[in-house]
Amino acid sequence: MTQYTKRIVIVHWLTLALLVAAWFLGDTLAEATDDGRATLAGYIVHSLVGGTVLLFTLLRFYFRSKDGIPAPVGQSPMDKVATGVHYLLYTVLFLLPASGLAIILTSKVGAALLAGDATLLPRKFHGVFAHEVHEMMVTALIVLVVVHMLGALKHQFIMKDGLMSRMSLRKKD
């Protein structure tokens, strides 16, 4: 089975690590915001990690266009669902950072960051549409990642077709 290129594999796994970090940072930031303990550094770090996720997503598309990708495994309905899940994952990986930027631009977070004054940070995001979208995108991403992982595990342990080796740094024998 043909593998993805090394750089696509590295970007894939780094993106996952960054998503986990962004999720934990975002959860911590949400709790701190609710308690009035949020810091400018918390917003900056979360934003930088989210921006890096977007950069890696763009890099992945660039690498895919230059390196190509392995052919689909099949044309069954489940294979088409898997393709749809991948498209949805990419869509959410674009929309999530975009909605985060929109939060900064449409709430008091942007003013606080520009002023360098944490006392201007909001305690709640009531009425900030971008925040609602951001939260929905996080939930969608979690669901899609779980579906993606379940599909990979199905291929590895039930179908035993070696599909997961395509996203490995090890060369197949």
Given a cut of 70, the residues of the chain with pLDDT beneath it are 172-173
Burial class (CB within 10 angstroms; exposed 0-12, middle 13-18, buried 19+) of 29: buried
| 8 A C-beta contact, residue 79 and residue 73 | yes
Q: Note the pLDDT of residue 170.
A: 87
Asked whether the whole model's pTM tops 0.75, one would answer: yes
Query: What pLDDT, on the 0 to 100 scale, is given for residue 172?
Result: 67
Single out the residue of 140, 171, 131, 133 nearest to residue 30, CA to CA.
Answer: 131
Q: What is the largest CA-CA distance in the chain?
A: 59
- Residue 133: the pLDDT is 98
